[in-house]
Structure 1
Amino acid sequence: MPLQAQKLGQALGEDFILHTTLCRREAGEFQRAVKSGQPVVVACTQEKRLFTELAEQTEGASSPIRFVNIRETGGWSAEAAHATPKMAALLAAARLPEPEPVPTVTYKSEGRLLILGPIDVAERAAALLADAMQVTIWAQGAGQAGGAQERRYPVMAGRLQSLSGWLGAFDVRWDASNPIDLDLCTRCNACVAACPEQAIGLDYQIDLSRCTSHRDCVKACDAVGAINFMREPQTQSARFDVVLDLRGANASPTFTSHALPQGYFRWDGQDLKTLLQLREMVGEFEKPRFFAYKQKLCAHSRNEQVGCNACVDICSAEAISSDKSRQQIKVNPNLCVGCGACTTACPTGALTYAYPRPSEQGEKIRTLVSAYQAAGGRDAALLLHSQDKGQAMLDELGRGAQLKVMQGVPARVMPVALWHTASVGLELWLSCVAYGARQVLVMLTDEEAPQYKIALQEQMAVAQSLLNGLGYEGLHFELLQVGSAASLDADLQRLSGRAVKAPAGPAAAARHAVQAEKRSNLELALDHLMAHAPVKAQASPPAAIALPSAGSPLGTITVDGSKCTLCMSCVGACPSSALQDNPQQPEIKFIEKNCVQCGLCAKTCPENAISLQSRFSLLPDRTQARVMHNSPPYGCVRCGKPFGTVKAIETMLGRLAGHSMFQGPALERLKMCGDCRVVDMFTDENQVRMAGDKPLN
């Protein structure tokens, strides 16, 4: 690699010594460094295992060690000679402290394994796993060879009702409706030979659709008594720790979610990697609790109306469900796989990503961009990718560049590894641009669920509309659907090669830190982008930027004054305090900055008087309360005290005027306050009673 140690040292503020064989001849330099107690950054991920073992063997080693790859991401590229600013940025980000620990979710597995599938294939798989796990087979057909004559494992069969759960807690329910009891069956095959319809397979189950009740099998099994056609079907259940599904792609899937539960494996009978992973599923395991939920910010439900359903719809693990009775959502941490798509789609920040936290992710991005600029880099682009398949694709791209068959990662593109690409959305993308990045590219592979792509595209359309509306020219955001390293190479050269003009950005980089709250991050980024927006230089800048309605967390509402009765249902339903009332007089006020476009106000309004409009206002009043509708109060016709609005009372009188129960004095009482209405009814009753006491002429 064409490394420039002096420039790297200048960029990072330290004197650098370049080691070319640190993992071999110069290993002593590494050992001396790890004794210092200061964090040590090793710019080599290939020999991570070697360096880790070397540190463990070094007496007095106390330094935390962090690894960063600058080879495939920078040094192995057609633009490697210009990649020094990027290398400096990657090294600077690697020096940041590790994220703070987060709460964890614990799984416990004793190795109770259920294998689903044809009995012959299931028994072959069981033979490879039985020494490490407690195997039970749920037979679905005999397969090509049928079961072995020697019964080595417990076998269940019947009609599968349900299979649900996760690692350490899979619950299976089935109907044991077949006449053959597999616990009693000795696999002597006498029933198979005796059946004239050949309705009994080598899984020792009877196909009742072919059976014509000869009962020859019962006679053949008389001594054992395993066959009983009079046995009542019974629903049975059992719990297992791990499930191996061998039923193939044509079978009806047990789990339909894109992200399968931990502990559930599908196997094609070929790739032994799956079985090796399965053998490790014994013991106690922990994973981060990837999300944090604040119910008071949630816009999911109010007044038994569902407003925002974004997190429920996008969850690929089906870990999120609606709890309308409690006006909130429920997230099952055992099913959550940490994709973070729910936090990206959430408009209010009720769901936030916790591993890493937004502030930690934002600090990494700010460090990358600022270090890149300090080292002389220009027009930075960030490539967000997953740390699994995305990283593997980048490694392959780097090798291709080193072999001169690909161009490699451009010098201005800095890869950022994420747990999942769906965990970062609108507010952090805009923060990247505010910090000085000119482009944000998000790489998708086949590991992402289809709904992720749709949600990310919607949010990118909103973010791009905001920047273009503010006068920043160019394409700042793009999804890269990557199927191979070659296609990734072509996309990067098309968007970020040195000959490509970079999109426009703010003249000054933002200095604010990313906050824990999503809406705060969004507002900070927008405030900076507005302050440096080219649109401000126009003679007559627009009052607002129109935004796509899908995925937009910004906008306003309109209230039809001819319909609104000021019942204040919308105010009670608003989860973000965008809608407010006035205790002094009947009116609805609205703060546009707070609106998340959840639609609860429109769904709650009994008069259908409210509609939504996605936009971003450039006027100062977006942060101030403005009156959307008001009405003079209606005074009681008896005492004059106001008790409602003119519109509400007139609407009520109009609707009830033709009702038989509200005629004459009854209709007039509707114009009275509650106290006067009671007095008037009591007075009227006394007058009727007195009239009844008078003698008749």
Structure 2
Amino acid sequence: MKTLVCSCNDTLPIDPPALREALRLAAGEDAAEGLSVGHRLLCRREAGAFQQAAQGQDALLVACTQEARLFSELHAQTEGTPPLAERPIRFLNLRETAGWSAEARERPAALPPKLAALIAEAQRPDPPPVAQVSYRSAGRCLVIGAPADLAGVLPLLGDALDLTLFLDGPAAPLPQDRLVPVLGGRIEALQGWLGAFTLRWRDEAPIDLDLCTRCNACVSACPEGAIGLDYRIDLARCDRQRACLSACGVAGAIDFERESAAREQGFDLVLDLGARPLLDLHQPPQGYHHVPLRAADGAARLSAAVVALRGSVGVFDKPKFFDYRVKLCAHSRNEREGCRACIDVCSAQAIQSRATVEGPDRGGIRVEPHLCVGCGACTTVCPSGALSYRYPGPDELGGRMRTLIGAYLKAGGEAAAGRPLLLLHSQQGGRQAIEALGRAAQAGPQAFGGPAPAPRPGAMARRRGLPLAVLPLALWHSASVGLELWLSALAWGARGVVVLLSGEEAPDYRRALAAQAALGQALLQGLGWSGTPLRLIDLAGADLPEAALEAGLQAALAEGLRPALAPAAFAAGSDKRAQLELVLDHLLAQAPQAAALPAALPLPSVPGSASPWGAVAIDTGRCTLCMACVGACPASALVDNPERPELRFIEKNCVQCGLCVGTCPEQALALQPRLLLAEAGRARREPRVLHAQEPFRCVRCSKPFGTLKAIENMVAKLAGHAAFQGAAAERLKMCGDCRVVDLYSDPREVRITDL
């Protein structure tokens, strides 16, 4: 790959030989040979160097995002360059994320390892493509609002979309020109997505607004004045003379006998002008726009919605962000619910339970890909790995982390600036916050090392920018990566992992990430590490986001993992549970006080978030060994013994879903979040006996069947039943074969064949 690095008019203190050597150590000879460094203004007077590189056959990486559009246009105007569709240009920001910082200016010799790490990660091959989800919109747009508001929307959208108005609000005169269909009534439900919305409402008014011609004959004929130009009848004033019926005549728009009718209609787009949204979600479906016109920013929001609606006609594709394996799902068994973590965390209500639906697809969940917005929070909280993120997959995301951390360490970053701190951020708000911090470090009123002049009005406050040990990694959404990759990053050599929350995340996502961080912290501290290596930096509501980000990063650097871990050799995989096992093995092998570890480490129980590790506590006085829990367990953590009445447990498999607890008829089970450390964690992998009993022996043939507790419970519960008295009660203590023999050999029994 050809990599072009520019110093951006010498504002990045880059040493070309040092960077080339750092990249050689980080990514190999080929990467170093493809590096073109030493440019000062690649986007201006040195544009010829870019054009020459673009004419080659190698993939092209340009370390500049500021002028990405200019480079793309220049590429299109250069003869002999392959089309961007065949060989797209990659762009990498080295200004705000590395070079524009106080540390880079003060210690330029420490900068190359970070630059090499960022370049090495950007040079990774593209991930495999994911499946696509399609939307088809013909422009049928439903506009919901008060009559006065609807009139102002028609000129903005009427020439581009097929509009239908639904009156919802205070009574007001309707436009006399019947330019578009008008509906009215009481809205019962609105659901769907771009190209597939469904509105359900109940039409309770005597005047059908869609049939009404606005001739106003009914208004003139009504002796009580009960009909206004909103074409609603005030039934309290109407004396039922029904003069309006005669006036309406053949139009037939008025019918006092019409029953309240449930109606339904489909639309492609929805513009909701009501004060409160019909779809009150943090992530509303695509194609739905809520614009409260009377809000302070109502006019601006309407302009944005109009632009979006006018551009929402045609066929559109988006990635299918997730993969679901129902066999691993711990949500339900036999119409009983267990884990609900994904359903509860989804801000788009894209996940529905299928625990009680009829048909062959009963059980598990269903994720509607058209509603999914790709946050990945469901995959983060899923304890079993049934839901996995695919944009990109966990193996690719983990590979990027490992490359970034490993390249930094190989290039000498630990000696230059200390162990790396991984900063995970979103591609939208998170990236903007990081770039704002970099610009504040470069354009602040005080030059690095010089006196501080009085800042002019409106000047940016001086910041130090991203520290050299902080390695930023952009994600589609900050909630798409969870505990298994956070801990993996520590195992690969990071001193800590910080997740940047920019304010665009739903409250449920914040709670879920906080729960994951608390669980990880409890695990690390319980194993003997100090520090706070797993952190969230939340910029929501911060008066000075750059200051909050800078302070959070400094705290994270100061409170990283202590002592340091020797970097692990394992790679990132696509199986969540397997990845956690690899991390645990590495952590247990390097636990600071391995000899003093407890037999089991208690873990916090966070509502709405299942622990990925834990045990099942059993009340042996209640348990009858009916094995209902074995049939309910989706992870094969609870297993029976075919040779004898015995309930066994494999703790490594348990996902703490609670299905066994909900299934047990005797309420003998309880979840116990913990990590079993006995025998250096090996005991977690071995089945152990939770409860065992001697089998009950048939009172007739002595063949073992059932358990003593189960037979005693059955006999006790049926003791008062008329059908189980005398010999019938004794048969409860017989095996199946002897019960049949005894039944047919007893002359006192009346059988169907005798009738």
Which 5+ residue runs of structure 2 have no aligned equivalent?
A: 1-10, 25-31, 357-361, 445-460
1:177 match: 204
2:91 match: 67
Change (3 A) 1:668 1:6: same
* Cα offset, 1:467, TM superposition: 0.9
Letter in 1 for 2:263: Q
Letter in 2 for 1:385: H
More moved, 450-459 vs 375-384 = 375-384
Letter in 2 for 1:275: V
Cα contact 1:113–1:240 (8 A) shared by 2:
yes
* Cα offset, 1:283, TM superposition: 0.5
Structure 1 residue corresponding to 2:124, chosen from 79, 89, 96: 96
* Cα offset, 1:500, TM superposition: 2.8
Deviations 1:78-119 (A, max 9, x none): 333354433322221111112211111110011111111122
Letter in 2 for 1:266: H
2:520 match: 463
More moved, 494-503 vs 43-52 = 494-503
* Cα offset, 1:652, TM superposition: 2.5
Q: How does 1:362-401 map to 2 (within 5 A)?
A: 362-377=398-413, 378-401=418-441
2:4 match: none
Change (3 A) 1:147 1:680: closer
2:701 match: secondary structure = coil
Q: Report the Cα distance in structure 1 between the residues aligned to 2:182 and 2:171, rounded to whole angstroms.
A: 15
* Cα offset, 1:403, TM superposition: 2.3
Change (3 A) 1:211 1:584: same
Cα contact 2:539–2:548 (8 A) shared by 1:
no
Cα contact 1:380–1:414 (8 A) shared by 2:
yes
Structure 2 residue corresponding to 1:22, chosen from 39, 42, 51: 42
1:560 match: 619
Q: Report the Cα distance in structure 2 between the residues aligned to 1:688 and 1:526, rounded to whole angstroms.
A: 65
2:17 match: 6
Q: TM-score, normalised by structure 1?
A: 0.92
Q: Report the Cα distance in structure 1 between the residues aligned to 2:543 and 2:437, rounded to whole angstroms.
A: 5
Q: Report the Cα distance in structure 2 between the residues aligned to 1:219 and 1:296, rounded to whole angstroms.
A: 66
Letter in 2 for 1:534: P
1:413 maps onto 2:449 in alignment: no
Cα contact 1:406–1:486 (8 A) shared by 2:
no
Q: Report the Cα distance in structure 1 between the residues aligned to 2:95 and 2:230, rounded to whole angstroms.
A: 55
Change (3 A) 1:227 1:472: same
Letter in 2 for 1:457: A
2:375 match: secondary structure = coil
1:612 maps onto 2:612 in alignment: no
Change (3 A) 1:176 1:646: closer
* Cα offset, 1:212, TM superposition: 5.3
Letter in 2 for 1:54: L
1:588 maps onto 2:654 in alignment: no
Structure 2 residue corresponding to 1:573, chosen from 632, 638, 645: 632
* Cα offset, 1:487, TM superposition: 3.2
Instruction: State the aligned residue count.
Output: 683
2:317 match: secondary structure = strand
1:693 match: none
* Cα offset, 1:128, TM superposition: 1.1
Structure 2 residue corresponding to 1:474, chosen from 528, 531, 553: 531
Letter in 2 for 1:353: Y
Change (3 A) 1:571 1:230: closer
Letter in 1 for 2:41: T
Structure 1 residue corresponding to 2:738, chosen from 670, 673, 676: 676
More moved, 20-29 vs 210-219 = 210-219
Cα contact 1:396–1:485 (8 A) shared by 2:
no
Change (3 A) 1:621 1:151: same
Change (3 A) 1:216 1:406: farther
1:694 match: none
* Cα offset, 1:462, TM superposition: 0.7
Change (3 A) 1:663 1:364: same
Letter in 2 for 1:528: H
Cα contact 2:496–2:556 (8 A) shared by 1:
no
Structure 1 residue corresponding to 2:387, chosen from 341, 345, 351: 351
1:160 match: 187
Letter in 1 for 2:739: R
Q: Report the Cα distance in structure 1 between the residues aligned to 2:134 and 2:557, rounded to whole angstroms.
A: 51
Cα contact 1:362–1:514 (8 A) shared by 2:
yes
Q: How does 1:158-557 map to 2 (within 5 A)?
A: 158-187=185-214, 200-208=227-235, 211=238, 213=240, 226-249=253-276, 253-267=277-291, 268=293, 269-271=298-300, 272-325=303-356, 326-377=362-413, 378-404=418-444, 405-407=461-463, 408-483=465-540, 484=542, 486-496=544-554, 500-504=558-562, 506-536=564-594, 538=595, 540-550=596-606, 551=609, 552-557=611-616
1:119 match: 147
More moved, 348-357 vs 192-201 = 192-201
Letter in 2 for 1:76: W
Q: Report the Cα distance in structure 2 between the residues aligned to 1:654 and 1:390, rounded to whole angstroms.
A: 64
Letter in 2 for 1:574: C
Change (3 A) 1:210 1:36: farther
1:51 match: 71
Q: Report the Cα distance in structure 1 between the residues aligned to 2:383 and 2:42, rounded to whole angstroms.
A: 48
Q: Report the Cα distance in structure 1 between the residues aligned to 2:729 and 2:200, rounded to whole angstroms.
A: 62
More moved, 487-496 vs 196-205 = 196-205
More moved, 457-466 vs 25-34 = 25-34
Cα contact 1:36–1:61 (8 A) shared by 2:
yes
Deviations 1:348-399 (A, max 9, x none): 0011111111111111111111122223322222222221222222232222
Letter in 2 for 1:337: V
Letter in 1 for 2:589: A
2:177 match: 150
2:164 match: secondary structure = strand
Letter in 1 for 2:131: P
1:653 maps onto 2:715 in alignment: yes
Deviations 1:592-646 (A, max 9, x none): 1111111111111111111111111112211111111111122222222111222
2:397 match: secondary structure = helix
Q: Report the Cα distance in structure 2 between the residues aligned to 1:210 and 1:46, rounded to whole angstroms.
A: 67
2:615 match: secondary structure = strand
* Cα offset, 1:258, TM superposition: 2.1
Q: Report the Cα distance in structure 2 between the residues aligned to 1:598 and 1:230, rounded to whole angstroms.
A: 54
Letter in 2 for 1:85: P
Q: Report the Cα distance in structure 2 between the residues aligned to 1:104 and 1:49, rounded to whole angstroms.
A: 26
Q: Report the Cα distance in structure 1 between the residues aligned to 2:365 and 2:707, rounded to whole angstroms.
A: 36
Letter in 1 for 2:550: L
Q: Report the Cα distance in structure 2 between the residues aligned to 1:75 and 1:512, rounded to whole angstroms.
A: 31
Q: TM-score, normalised by structure 2?
A: 0.85
Q: Report the Cα distance in structure 1 between the residues aligned to 2:309 and 2:495, rounded to whole angstroms.
A: 44
Letter in 2 for 1:178: A
Deviations 1:5-36 (A, max 9, x none): 33322221115422121112111211222232
Q: Report the Cα distance in structure 2 between the residues aligned to 1:67 and 1:605, rounded to whole angstroms.
A: 57
Cα contact 2:498–2:556 (8 A) shared by 1:
no
1:643 match: secondary structure = strand
Cα contact 1:320–1:330 (8 A) shared by 2:
yes
Cα contact 2:61–2:90 (8 A) shared by 1:
yes
Q: Report the Cα distance in structure 1 between the residues aligned to 2:697 and 2:167, rounded to whole angstroms.
A: 78
Cα contact 1:142–1:202 (8 A) shared by 2:
no
1:597 maps onto 2:677 in alignment: no
Cα contact 2:693–2:707 (8 A) shared by 1:
yes
1:640 match: 702
More moved, 265-274 vs 17-26 = 265-274
Letter in 2 for 1:298: C
Q: Report the Cα distance in structure 1 between the residues aligned to 2:320 and 2:391, rounded to whole angstroms.
A: 8
2:472 match: secondary structure = strand
State, as a whole percentage, how many aligned pairs show the same letter.
53
Structure 1 residue corresponding to 2:685, chosen from 623, 628, 637: 623
Q: Report the Cα distance in structure 2 between the residues aligned to 1:418 and 1:27, rounded to whole angstroms.
A: 31
